[in-house]
Structure 1
């Protein structure tokens, strides 16, 4: 081979080697760039995920705080609830069945205040706040003997009325109320008790509860009396979770025909005073035990439960109660309430 050809071949080889080196370098740079881009994308995604988690934690924080407060509150006895999937239809049927059972146990249910006319019932109901019907019935004979009409009571000496009402408690406030409503009856209604809700609630000391007592028992107009017993029992039976009296009235009223409202109130109040007490219900002697989601909150032993029954005016229909065995299962244990797991 000639020297000239050798030189040409060496130059060609150098060019080829340089070209290959450039290609390899370019490829390496591209790979490095891709890795850097991927790394940046990964870092960006991780940052986004951390931000999202942070936002979620920020939202969840108040719930955790509430849970901590709830855990810190005093422990309470929680009655077993009926199935969460209890339909509206099932609730209506259960509520109406309870009312039917109570109607059999308390066929004579009535307002336990003594009265002879709408005026006496109105005054007695106002006086019954924060005291017992028995105490009111011991007080009103003297009051009505001395002041038989709204006109008489409106013109009475407040100090003399206070002396009569002292046993009822809060006697000064109650004196102002009964004298104020008597004066309003004389000036606005000719001395007659109005038969409309909107008129009754305008009288001093008269709210919806008092108005419905008067309308239902003096005028025969249906109404639901939401007193302390009624509120307690309808929540215990899971008819409603409302706590406001007006909302309870609306919720319970929607479960029953309007024609049943007045007697429903009497049945529930009678039951609350005699069997389903606030602190220790007599569950073992309760005629609606199989229907009650709060069964077991009180005494379940039949004999012990019967000792908790309260006998008030009108007696107690013991003979109408089902025997204790009616509330026991085949194994001799208390039968669970209807719908319980």
Structure 2
């Protein structure tokens, strides 16, 4: 079954009857989780204190008809016995001196997950129950787990709010404040890059050696959102060579002194053949093209020569004035 995006009540109304209850249950859980991430973002000062909660759409993949649990009237002092969890999980909670919902707010998710009888699904259910009475778990004492929570909270922000949170981010801020994907965050912490400044000060080559291409591009893009110079930034062609910029993001050079190697994003390996034939600058290539010499170069075939000349004509060299053609000719 394909994903469905729910943006309005009308989208819900279009669902088949057998999917409606299942979607409502998933939607409720999605809203609770989004509110939790928003609360973490506020608590960690990732967004301004007056930032409103936004939940504009919901992506849901149908899993077949499911029954929506009938909600009970929950209060902070509601006994654990009235919560719908497995008996073994309930017994484990009692052993942790948790006898009512409010007691859950005095423990962290990580501490609960250390119990053999309590899994991630149960913790998610308890988190939802806490949210329904306006409470939350204690922040995880484990530094890495808390970093993951903070990073996840930033990732959950709408793009505009996320960009605002990253703007002018200080070097002393934890690296999780960037909102890195889980795998990238793990790599950063393993590399000892705990602060934003640790990443910002990395030379471009070191960044690419320590991180995969996708991770390096993610870090580079997020640091750019902080509105502060990236210490490892280099010439655009160097960013392209390391996979941090696409050809579309580059400006096509037009200066005659441009080294021929900087045309590689558009001309590919043909720049090596041109260099071997003594063409070392863009100016020299333009002169050779104007004389019709490109096709005669060793290692440059007819198709490649046409591509080189076409590139120059389209992006570098203005179209020449053609004698005898009037600008007003019809």
Q: TM-score range by the shorter chain?
A: under 0.3
Greater share of helix: 1
What is the TM-score with the length of structure 1 in the denominator? 0.22
Q: Rg bigger for which structure?
A: 1
* TM-score normalised by structure 2 residue count: 0.23
